[in-house]
Amino acid sequence: MRTALTIAGSDSSGGAGIQADIKTMTANGVYAMSAITALTAQNTTGVTGIMEVTPQFLEEQLDDIFTDIRPDAVKIGMVSAGPLIKVIAAVLKKYEAKHVVVDPVMVATSGSRLISDDAIEVLKTSLLPLAEVLTPNIPEAEVLSGMRVRTEEDMASAAEYIGRTYHCAVLCKGGHQLNDANDLLYRDGECLWFRGRHIDNPNTHGTGCTLSSAIASNLAKGYCMEAAVERAKAYISGALSAMLDLGKGSGPMNHAFDLESEFIGTRDGDKEVWL
C-alpha cells in the first residue's frame, strides 16, 4: 500500500486540517500518517483557540515517521509560525521527501487568521521552493504574487509568477470567489484549466485541505500531476455532492460519500427507535 503524510493543524470539528486530510487519504486508497503542527479549538462558525506544538516536538514526530514508514507523498497545510516552517523544510531536505504538496493555508473559510505575517516570509523563503505543487486559493495567490486577482487571466498571471519564482507547479483554485469549480494549473510554462461542475452547496469547510490531500494521495499512487489533479477534483465533487449539512456555519463535506452512512433504526413519529 502506498503511504502519505499530512503535516498540518488539528481541527476539533473534524472538517478541515489533519482530520480532513486523514479521511481524504484513506478514501483515496493510501495509508495516512500525520505530524501535528498545532491544535485548534474550532467549529463550523470559527476558530476560538490555537495551541502550537514546539518546533522540537514537531521535529520528533517527523523523524519518527521518516525513519520508519517513509511517505510516498507529503501534504503540508496549516503551519502558523516561522520556527515550525523551518523545521519542516530542514526535515524534508534531510530525508529527500518526494511529492511535496503545499497548501499555503492563511485564512479559514470562517474568516479566522491561521498564519502570522513573519511566518508568511519564512514560508516563501524556505518551504515553497521545496514543493512539487502549491495549491493557493485566490487570496493566497494574491499574497504570494503581490498581484490583484479579479479575472481568469489574472489567475493565470499570478500562477505563472508564483511557479517561476518557486520553481514548482501551481494550482490556483477559483473556489468561493471567481468561478467556484474552475482551477488553473500552471506547470513547466503551460497553463491548463480544470473546469469542474459548480455544486450548489454552502458547506465548504475544508475544501482546500481535502483537495490538496487528494492530490498528494494520487501522486503517492503514481499518477502524473494532471491525472492527480483530475482525480482529486472528481473526489471533491463527490464529497460536495453528498450534501452533508452539519453545524451552524459553513459545514464539512462527506469525505466518506462512497460508504453506507444512513441510520438503520426506524422512526416512531419524531422518535428514533434503535434496533
Ligand X SMILES: Nc1ncnc2c1ncn2[C@@H]1O[C@H](COP(=O)(O)OP(=O)(O)OP(=O)(O)O)[C@@H](O)[C@H]1O
Stretch that binds ligand X, among 122-130, 162-170, 184-192, 229-237 (CB under 6 A): 229-237
Cβ 252 vs Cβ 234: under 8 Å = no
Q: Which three cell numbers stand for residue 249?
A: 456555519
Residue 122 CA to residue 117 CA, distance in Å, equals: 9
Cβ closest to ligand X, residue 34 vs residue 250: 250
Residue 222 main-chain phi, psi, to 5 deg: 105, 5
Cβ closest to ligand X, residue 93 vs residue 148: 148
Q: Which three cell numbers stand for residue 123?
A: 514560508
Cβ 6 vs Cβ 38: under 8 Å = no
Size of the site for ligand MP5 (CB under 6 A): 17
Binding residues for ligand MP5 restricted to 3-32, rule: CB under 6 A? 8-9, 11, 16-17
Residues across the chain: 275
Smallest separation, CB 224 to ligand X (Å): 18
Binding residues for ligand MP5 restricted to 69-88, rule: CB under 6 A? 77-78
Q: Closest Cα partner for 107 from 71, 141, 158, 130?
A: 141
Q: Closest Cα partner for 145 from 156, 133, 131, 130?
A: 156
Smallest separation, CB 231 to ligand MP5 (Å): 20
Cβ closest to ligand MP5, residue 19 vs residue 157: 19
Q: Which of 82, 196, 208, 251 binds ligand MP5 (CB under 6 A)?
A: 208
Smallest separation, CB 213 to ligand X (Å): 11
Secondary structure of residue 243 in the 3-state scheme: coil
For binding to ligand X (CB under 6 A), which residues are involved? 16, 109, 137, 173-176, 180-181, 183, 196, 198-199, 201, 204, 206-209, 211, 233, 236-237, 240
